[in-house]
Amino acid sequence: MSALAATRIIANGRIWTAAPALVAPAGGVAVESLAIAARDGRIAAVGPLAELRTQFPQAELDDVGGRLVTPGFIDCHTHIVHAANRAAEFARRLAGESYQSIARAGGGILATVRATRAATLPQLVEAALPRVDALLAEGVTTLEIKSGYGLDLETEQRMLQAARAIGRQRPLTVMTTYLGAHTVPPEHASDADGYVTRLCNELIPAMAASGLADAFDAYCETLAFSAGQVARAFAAARTHGLPVKLHADQLSNTHGALLAAQHHALSADHLEYTDEAGVGALAAAGSVAVLLPGAYYFLRERQRPPLAALRRAGVPIAVATDCNPGTSPLTSILAAMNLAAVEFGLEVGECLAGVTRHAAQALGVQAEAGTISAGKWCDLAVWDVAEPAELVHNLGARPLHRRYWHGQPGP
Ligand code: DI6
Ligand code: FE
């Protein structure tokens, strides 16, 4: 019998299932004493231990000693594959230059594009693995990885090949996103429209045909692409079967949330400058709002995303690291939750749903991951904490006891 086929019962856990139905105490989340049966990598049943033992008499028993068990965490927005770092730009920003002025002078995203184009596939994987391992050590079992630092087909594909290689080398699920409209490549410096035409006619069709991308993303911003240009790229991506996501309204209100909603985006991400109309459109479209407090923090932004409006409209809210070398050199999903709580005002239950159920929805994998429910992958995090709020409260603690990915315990 292969290891994957073995039946296992994870017993004596205090379980936060992340299922939406449970009534939680004020400011907290509801935890139940239940067991989880895993078979063939998936959750076979969740229930009282005695029942599961009768149902699966041969199962191996893992006693987790009364620890908190949550779904494995999902970091649904990262640029974790890239070459070099931009600490020197950070030093310039500390000395008074702005992110935008550095970008206009050829730094910023383009600096990472130059380094990434020069890097080989093994170099990209090797550079990313320590960052990936930091997330695994905090209970992450599903990771989204974007391209976007190549901007030519060859480098963009190499980035996504590196992402897929990471998914083979580590016990986690990798979802890939082709960020083909991150910034205008140097070859098209004064011709963004020309690049978008190439994107639509050549690059998106080729990337879709390669099977390397699970979704398409764009950066709608004054220093990146206009709403009209993104709309053209989105239409092409959807024609080629790629669901879309958007970096929207981060530094200014370009009506990115509205644009994302019009294209039935899986998610609209950042949203600091999104207005009521944008929030309403996201709600109507069923798109997830992905909040990225790391970028807000590192850029010393002052404009917060419209949390009250998102709550009122019932938009699902996710939280992610945005791990990237420029605006969010952050490899801690726990710190992202803490920042979302302290800087944006999310409650504990919202932070936890933001890295589980809603993050799964932002990637379109809600049928497979994000809650502890029969039929989904048995991806779990077991924690050495007395209560769930500790996961959001402590900054710098690493209370992970153990992860399970597809039913297998491990690092
Ligand atoms: N995500 C991005 O892609 C841009 N900002 C963000 O939050 C820029 C990333 C970079 O500067 O490399
Ligand atoms: Fe980003």
For 184-249, the DSSP string reads: --GGGTT-HHHHHHHIIIIIHHHHHHHT--SEEEEEESTTSB-HHHHHHHHHHHHHTT--EEEEES
> Could you tell me if 155 and 172 lie in one domain?
yes
Q: What is the number of other CB atoms lying within 10 angstroms of the CB of residue 4? A: 13
> Could you tell me if 111 and 170 lie in one domain?
yes
> Could you tell me if 53 and 199 lie in one domain?
no
| pLDDT class of 154 with cuts at 50, 70, 90 | very high
Residue with CA nearest ligand 1 atom 5: 327
Per-residue pLDDT at 5 exceeds 60: no
Q: How far is CA 231 from CA 134, 137, 190, 260, in A?
A: 36, 38, 20, 9
Q: Are 150 and 116 in contact (CB under 8 A)?
A: yes
Q: What is the domain count for the chain?
A: 2
Place of tokens 């080398």: 169
Residue 116 lies in a domain: yes
328 alpha carbon – ligand 1 mean position (Å): 7
> Could you tell me if 66 and 92 lie in one domain?
no
Q: For the segment 261-292, what is each residue's pLDDT rounded down to a tens digit?
A: 999 999 999 999 999 999 999 999 999 999 99
Q: Ligand 1 pocket test: which of 102, 292, 324 has the largest number of ligand atoms within 8 Å of its C-beta?
A: 324
| CA-327 nearest atom, ligand 1 | 11
Q: CA 96 to CA 76: how far, in whole Å? A: 32
Q: For the segment 165-180, what is each residue's pLDDT rounded down to a tens digit?
A: 999 999 999 999 999 9
Per-residue model confidence (pLDDT) at position 410: 87
Distance of CA 185 to the CA centre of its chain: 25
| pLDDT class of 114 with cuts at 50, 70, 90 | very high
78 alpha carbon – ligand 1 mean position (Å): 10
List, as ranges, residues with CB under 5 A of the ion ligand 2.
322
**DSSP structural state of residue 23:** P
Ligand with smallest separation from the Cα of 183: 1
| pLDDT class of 22 with cuts at 50, 70, 90 | low
* Domain carrying residue 15: 7-71+371-410
Q: Which of 1-5, 121-125, 176-180 has the lowest mean pLDDT?
A: 1-5
| pLDDT class of 24 with cuts at 50, 70, 90 | low
Per-residue pLDDT at 381 exceeds 80: yes
Q: CA 360 to CA 383: how far, in whole Å? A: 20
> Could you tell me if 49 and 158 lie in one domain?
no
Residue with CA nearest ligand 1 atom 11: 326
Per-residue model confidence (pLDDT) at position 3: 46
- Nearest by Cα to 328 from 111, 86, 84: 86
Per-residue model confidence (pLDDT) at position 6: 73
Q: Ligand 1 pocket test: which of 109, 222, 223, 319 has the largest number of ligand atoms within 8 Å of its C-beta?
A: 109
> Could you tell me if 170 and 305 lie in one domain?
yes
> Could you tell me if 243 and 306 lie in one domain?
yes
Q: What is the number of other CB atoms lying within 10 angstroms of the CB of residue 152? A: 15
| CA-325 nearest atom, ligand 1 | 12
Q: Report angle CA 123, 179, 303 to the nearest 5 degrees.
A: 110
Per-residue model confidence (pLDDT) at position 20: 82
Tally of CA atoms within 13 A in the half-sphere of 94 that contains its CB = 6
Q: CA 34 to CA 20: how far, in whole Å? A: 17
How large is the average pLDDT for residues 7-31?
Answer: 85
The pair of structure tokens assigned to 387 is 């209560």
> Could you tell me if 85 and 176 lie in one domain?
yes
How large is the average pLDDT for residues 63-72?
Answer: 98
What pTM does this model have? 0.97
Per-residue model confidence (pLDDT) at position 290: 98
How large is the average pLDDT for residues 221-239?
Answer: 96
How large is the average pLDDT for residues 218-232?
Answer: 96
Ligand with smallest separation from the Cα of 326: 1
What CATH number is given to the structural domain containing 232?
A: 3.20.20.140
Per-residue model confidence (pLDDT) at position 1: 37
